[in-house]
Structure 1
């Protein structure tokens, strides 16, 4: 093991030496070309070579990238060399992008795109579209970024530019991975791998593998991550692609960090850090320093961990990277907590919580926006296809008309029949488009309704208990209440936290069923087990209200259901019964055999409900919520969620109730049959 480490350290030294020599070589070439500027001001080859060197200096000398790009822009304008103007504007935009000045970057990319369209430079148009989409991604405008990438993909497909198709699909994959939608991200990465195989360039394949390794590491699929990053490192070392090699080393360090192998994680992070000494890639350093900070914290080297976390914090603040600040704040909170500097720890914890809440809300909105953008893009694409079809049909019509002039008698008959057919087809198409538009409108309304309802419940029913908890902690921290008074609130706090947990569980289940469609996977399940588990889970609440829970479910009540969905139904019904049953009450859970079904009931001696409420509680868009006998609060989602889950399992749910006498909720589920098999 020691021999292996020594060999790898020597390799890192050799790579760093190669990196330094590459930087020196590039700067020498620039110096030689600059000496020729005065005598070659009209030489487009000279200008192009100068611009290529400027772009190669991106990660070595960013100031040189800006100065050379500006010089190339002036030279190109003097001789009206449009391709030079486009490349120099892209170079200047890249400089501002790397500095975190994304609006300035967008300004220069748009200028480059305008000239590219004027000169009909297809490859340059694609470069500009890709760069603009990337800037909108950095700004957090994921909808515009996704729309830009999809538009560029159509353009690249039209001109058959495989290289840009590879780049654009990979950027879309990274966009989905940043939203933690790993399934969709990996779908695009696999498309990129196929395109790279056609291009047959090992460096492009290595870049994709390193990005996939990062996604697999975040997913926890560490074997896949290690396989991909090792393969990419071998190629980058062979080809001496230093900026990507630094990134690949950092990903390998992250993979070991996920395994809590801190020593090996730091070894690979150090390899990346050595390369970054001669690179100017602040965005890449944020993840590197955050990773090193976590690894040193895992080794209990808090002072070193704090050093790297603060460096990452400074870079994240400079580049306005919320994700970077979030990771730094979390580590700095832990470090200061270990040092017992609770005031500083609390400051970083509050910063971490604030950014987490912002990112969570932002990610929900971005996810919905990206979904709408994709739907809109597909709709526009379908309309374009239909328009093209109509245009082709019209062209054929004119061709036939010109030919039919020679055959007068045939013309009259053919035109009449053809017009009838065209009219019929147009009516069918018009009706189809109208139906599609109505469906799209309904879908968009449902999406907006779902989003509004989620945000309303989160802001209304979760923020209250959390705000009360924060206020109590603040009072305790400021010394306005003592320890004994604080402890008096502990039962209330536990009740609030239980309420938040229960509410979140319902929200997540309901949100999944509304936005993604919950898949029902039935299997052979004993009902008595589900009832026992939920009675045990809610027993403490029953004891606190002195309510007797009676289980009349016999053994061998084998059913054919999705156990997770029916578990939610049983838990909600028992929880509701506890909520609306006064102290010293009684709740009975039982079952009756009805032909091929089990009829389960949850009966309470609670306050009951009138007929109007009974008609509304199961409605899909109902948000009826009332306070329980001890002022318990609900979200109004529980019973509509129960109805949805029961119906997905081929059952029905209903209620009978009398005011001040109690309520009894019934639902049915299928019995298990011998010929039932587990679904895949």
Structure 2
């Protein structure tokens, strides 16, 4: 059950990025000053501003107070009809609802605020809305959409934002990659953010980055190293009285000690974190910590305390709508009942956990839950089988002489069946070995064709660049070519490694990679992107060969549309219908004459079309290109799953 607790570490750590509490004397003075001003304020925009500022000061002390103050300001603004005031209030209300764990309500407020900022053409306001939406999607477990909105935030921040905002944005992108188990990218973004934050002395972001780096090492199983970063983060939050982040770091330290089997230290830090969460009234943190405490008590045999903690966590998560965390708590309760021999209750809570579907519920967790249910059913069947077998043996003893001849035939039949099974098994092993050999050959061919040729070209260009008689301008062109070839080779190797990894068989991981690639590509080229991903696709799995070729056809089509077609719009859709998977990449670019281009494929080596056709044929898919000069191009792929 290790991943359940680790997933809570990620949520808890990332929560530090979202909830910064600095209950200092200066903040108390600001609150007192605003309350004094509100007494004298008239019913105008100045009062709305003061209510909004006071709500913001209370956001990590008491989010309920922030919500109440903001709703009062909204009511006042209905008469004044100040659009910018509406935009700020709706955006901040989304933030407060997110802190309370009311994620669906948070999204409603945030998208309302975003539409108003877009009407006002206010980039800074849009940036705040994008960031809040991304964080809410992250809390809901929708990592692809979270990454999409964080990338939008990063683009705006790089133009008009501060170093602090850029560091926070990079930190949040790192959290998305962490939750997607892309640990190297996660660490890259966290260390970039930490470097900016340390250089500018942004203590809140420093603490968040350090805590998140600790979460990465914990996820990688290096809990001793994780503790070092969590304690560094805790020190910053204590020195600067960042109260809610203190609780998050205490929670993470408790987790690290748990996996180091230091249960006494683990309990101490979990209980410290719980005390702070309860004082702040942060339901998300309370539920998270209670579930961690429940896990600890299961490990130490304190089953009644574990049951009480988990039930409290489930009650809170039921009301907050945090389905991912609710599912984990239900699963943990199922484990508890299974451990204590209460199999019916274990099955009840297993079924509850199964109903709470979440897009990022890992394959390991599914296997673990299935194993528990199977063990329960197996124990029942084994008991019945044993009783029946005993009855049969008693009858067999009485009829032994009469059934002697029949037994001979039975043994002979069993021998034949075993022999048949032996040949079937051997044949299966041979097919598996051939399949593995085929996979190795495919990888070797890809490495030889793409990587080998690229390395050879790099070698040639580097030798030419070293020649003394090579002009400086020409040498620079060669060096630029070497750089481009190296980046291309890294990208190809990344695609090969990704395709081989069996974790990516699940199609939702393919959709996430597709969305990440096309979002970054179109954002960089200022191309408008429209994507439609059929939710039904997430339930399917593809083998390595189909997954690799499907993704590379998509990648080639998108790359051509963005880089060569001069398109302003690219539309991508993936649909599942009648056991067929449909991919369509369409643009409004220059277009071309398909027949002439296909002739170029045969006569002049048009590698793009040729590669897509070859990959489609390899997976027995139907490949089609529709294009009219001046009216764009549509690339379509139909593949049986």
- TM class by shorter chain equals 0.5 to 0.7
Once the two structures are overlaid, the 10-residue window that deviates more, 496-505 or 147-156, is: 496-505
Contact kept in structure 1, 2:140 and 2:324, CA below 8 Å: no
How do residues 22-421 of structure 1 correspond to structure 2 at under 5 angstroms? 22=23, 33=34, 36-37=37-38, 39-41=40-42, 47-76=48-77, 78-79=79-80, 81-351=82-352
* Matched residues, number: 404
Contact kept in structure 2, 1:23 and 1:57, CA below 8 Å: no
Contact kept in structure 2, 1:262 and 1:296, CA below 8 Å: no
Whole-angstrom distance in 2 between the partners of 1:179 and 1:509? 30
RMSD: 5.0
1:476 and 2:377 equivalent? no
Larger Rg: 1
Whole-angstrom distance in 1 between the partners of 2:177 and 2:441? 21
Change (3 A) 1:513 1:20: same
Question: Displacement, 1:39?
Answer: 3.7
Change (3 A) 1:143 1:282: same
Change (3 A) 1:25 1:67: farther
Change (3 A) 1:344 1:510: farther
Change (3 A) 1:620 1:231: closer
Q: Map Cα deviations across residues 524-579 of structure 1 (whole Å, 9 max, x no partner).
A: xxxxxxxxxxxxxxxxxxxxxxxxxxxxxxxxxxxxxxxxxxxxxxxxxxxxxxxx
Change (3 A) 1:299 1:621: closer
How do residues 481-500 of structure 1 correspond to structure 2 at under 5 angstroms? 482=387, 484=389
Once the two structures are overlaid, the 10-residue window that deviates more, 291-300 or 508-517, is: 508-517
Change (3 A) 1:256 1:43: same
Question: Displacement, 1:340?
Answer: 2.8
Whole-angstrom distance in 1 between the partners of 2:199 and 2:122? 24
Name the SS for the 2:154 alignment partner: helix
Whole-angstrom distance in 1 between the partners of 2:351 and 2:66? 39
> What TM-score do you get using the length of structure 1 for normalisation?
0.50
Question: Displacement, 1:482?
Answer: 3.9
Name the SS for the 2:279 alignment partner: coil
Question: Displacement, 1:200?
Answer: 2.2
Whole-angstrom distance in 2 between the partners of 1:507 and 1:109? 50
Name the SS for the 1:278 alignment partner: helix
Change (3 A) 1:53 1:466: closer
Contact kept in structure 1, 2:170 and 2:192, CA below 8 Å: yes
> What TM-score do you get using the length of structure 2 for normalisation?
0.53
Whole-angstrom distance in 2 between the partners of 1:156 and 1:266? 41
Question: Displacement, 1:27?
Answer: 8.7
Whole-angstrom distance in 1 between the partners of 2:151 and 2:213? 20
Whole-angstrom distance in 1 between the partners of 2:427 and 2:31? 66
Extract unaligned runs of 5+ from structure 2.
1-19, 394-413, 449-543, 548-641
Change (3 A) 1:288 1:485: farther
Q: Answer 1 or 2: higher relative contact order, Cα 8 Å, separation at least 6.
A: 2
Extract unaligned runs of 5+ from structure 1.
1-18, 365-457, 521-618, 623-680
Contact kept in structure 2, 1:260 and 1:298, CA below 8 Å: no
Whole-angstrom distance in 2 between the partners of 1:198 and 1:475? 63
Question: Displacement, 1:308?
Answer: 1.1
Name the SS for the 2:59 alignment partner: coil
Contact kept in structure 2, 1:476 and 1:483, CA below 8 Å: no
Contact kept in structure 1, 2:93 and 2:106, CA below 8 Å: yes
Question: Displacement, 1:514?
Answer: 8.9
Question: Displacement, 1:92?
Answer: 1.7
Whole-angstrom distance in 2 between the partners of 1:32 and 1:487? 87
Contact kept in structure 2, 1:110 and 1:132, CA below 8 Å: yes
Instruction: Tell me which residue corresponds to 1:3.
Output: none
Whole-angstrom distance in 2 between the partners of 1:124 and 1:180? 31
